[in-house]
Amino acid sequence: MSHGKPAPDEARVRETLAQMRAEADAGTTRVSVLGLARRLGISNATFWRNHREIAIEIRQAPETPDKPTRASQPGKEAELADRNASLRRERDALAGQLEAALAHLRRLTTDNARLREELEAAEP
C-alpha cells in the first residue's frame, strides 16, 4: 500500500544534500534531515524509512564551528524547553477537551436514535 509521493532516488537526495551544504557554507541555511526531506517534498518519516544511512550521516555531521551551537546558547535552549513544555501542556489539555466533546457527541447520537425510535413508536 503506497501513500503520497514515492521517495526520490539516492542520487537526487545526494545532489539536494550537496546544495544544502553549499547554502550552509554560505550561511543561508542549516543542513538537517527534516529540511532535506521538506526540500525533496517528502515526509520526515518517509525520508528516514528510505534513506536511513543519509539521515544518520547528517545527524552525525559536526556543526560548522563559526556558527553558535545549541550548547553555547543556554538561555535560548531553556527558553525553547519552556516553550515546548507549555505547548505540550496545551496540547494535552486540548486533547482532553476533544475527547470530552467526542464522548458528548456519542451520547447525543445514541439519545437521538432512541428518541426517534420512541417518536416512531408513538405515532399512530
Contact predicate 43/37, CB 8 Å: yes
The pTM of the full predicted model, rounded to 2 decimals, is 0.48
72 pLDDT band (50/70/90 cuts)? low
Task: Please tell me the total number of residues recorded for the chain in this structure.
Answer: 124
Task: Please state the rounded mean pLDDT for residues 7-14.
Answer: 90
- For residue 60, pLDDT over 90 is answered with no
Longest CA span, the chain: 85
1 pLDDT band (50/70/90 cuts)? very low
Domain ranges of the chain: 1-67, 73-124
Q: Model confidence over 18-29: pLDDT tens digits?
A: 999 998 888 888
Percent of the chain with pLDDT over 90: 48
In one letter, which amino acid is 30?
R
Task: Please state the rounded mean pLDDT for residues 71-87.
Answer: 81
Average pLDDT, the chain: 85
CA angle, corner 43, sides to 2 and 94, nearest 5?
Answer: 105
- Among 2-6, 52-56, 84-88, the minimum mean pLDDT is found in 2-6
124 pLDDT band (50/70/90 cuts)? confident
